Amino acid sequence: MTHEVGGTRSFHELAERWDLSDMARVIAGMGGQIDFALEDAQFPDIVRSGIEEILVVGMGGSVLPVDIINDTLADWLPRSLQVSRHYHLPRAETQRRLLVFSSFSGNTQEVIEPLLSMPAEARNIAVITAGGQLASIGEERGYPTIIIPAAREPNGFQPRCASGYIVTYLARLLTASGFATVPFKQFQVLSSFLGGLDLRAEGEALALALEGRIPIFYSDERHALSLARIAKIKYNENAKRPAFFNALPEASHNEMIGLSGADEQLVVVYFRDPESHPRVHQCFDIMRRVLAGPHVSFLEWEMLGANRLERVFATLMLADWVSYFSALLRGVDPTPVALVEEFKRLLTQSDDVGIGE
């Protein structure tokens, strides 16, 4: 099914004109990322014992997968993975904490600076990157280094699109370090599950429903960071449009009041998890009943999958397609983030400090 846009135009025609970096292939290939990372023979040897905490240092798309891990593997983790998005580590490192420095580009200064501050002989360190300075430092210091195979993807491949790789590599790292025992059978099934999904038509329909409105992505609180926030980020970066996120039941205690006085054209998109507590759904249903009007509309999508891992990844794939088709409707290539690149350039120019993902 291909929706017509503006009369005779189709999304297929828009993709031929605007998807210059072939993001559609990247989205459809999420299962392939998981397969590759599961079987990657270049995964480094990691010999650890007594690891009680994992801290991942990174920015942007390079650490979004940590939120996915904390959600989908919650039943297998002794405690949640922590994230540092800053130039300084939150506290002194210990031998019972594994530090994972993650930067897709390998040149993120918020990652490079704290790594270089570590003693060269420190051993409780691992690296995840596609190259750059981080790969060089890892090689020089002998840190276990996981290389994201960006060369398998189209030119312009972005960190925010690499979650299949990074989530799977992190899962392997959790088991290799002795921190947790991961259900890899679910990952193997997940790959084929995603490969059999075709959510393009639903993504097209949702993109059309969002046109001219500002979306607010809602989920159950336990999916707030892994789904609602990532959907918001994908909409920002792919569609180049504002978007927001929140979670239920929290939003019904505060944000609901703001929606009641909205002058903007807003649409709440709720990712409904069939395993959520019934009252979470009830919160959304009541909000929709009392707030729907000329300025606020409500949409929902029931999450697909036999388990939490499948439901989260299927919904992330839908969010990818929605933001992708929204970009095509606006007449922009969904892949590049020129403003971010210009911001990095100006920041480097102003104080000789750069940022990246």
Q: What is the largest CA-CA distance in the chain?
A: 64
pLDDT of 258 reads 95
CATH class of segment(s) 4-21+197-330: alpha beta
Q: Per residue of the chain (357 residues), give pLDDT as tens.
A: 455 565 446 999 999 999 999 999 999 999 999 999 999 999 999 867 789 999 999 999 999 999 999 999 999 999 999 999 998 888 766 778 999 999 999 999 999 999 999 988 888 999 999 999 999 999 999 999 999 999 999 999 999 999 999 999 999 999 999 999 999 999 999 999 999 999 999 999 999 999 999 999 999 999 999 999 999 999 999 999 999 999 999 999 999 999 999 999 999 999 999 999 999 999 999 999 999 999 999 999 999 999 999 999 999 999 999 999 999 999 999 998 866 666 666 666 665 544 456
Domain spans of the chain?
Answer: 4-21+197-330, 23-193
Q: How far apart are the C-alpha atoms of 49 and 123, rounded to whole Å?
A: 12
Helix/strand/coil (H/E/C) assignment for every residue in 147-194 = ECCHHHCCCCCCHHHCHHHHHHHHHHHHHHCCCCCCCHHHHHHHHHHH
Report whether 103 contacts 112 (CB < 8 A).
Answer: yes
List C-alpha distances in Å: 75 to 142, 182, 232, 273: 33, 10, 26, 17
pLDDT of 357 reads 60
pLDDT of 93 reads 63
Query: Are 4-21+197-330 and 23-193 the same fold in CATH?
Result: yes
Q: What is the pTM of this model?
A: 0.92
List C-alpha distances in Å: 314 to 151, 190, 301, 305: 25, 9, 11, 7
107 contact partners, CB below 8 Å, separation of at least 6 = 132, 133, 134, 354, 356
Report whether 34 contacts 190 (CB < 8 A).
Answer: yes
If one counts every other C-beta atom within 10 angstroms of the C-beta of residue 290, the result is 11
Report whether 252 contacts 283 (CB < 8 A).
Answer: yes
Q: How far apart are the C-alpha atoms of 303 and 310, rounded to whole Å?
A: 9
Assess if CATH 3.40.50.150 describes domain 23-193.
Answer: no
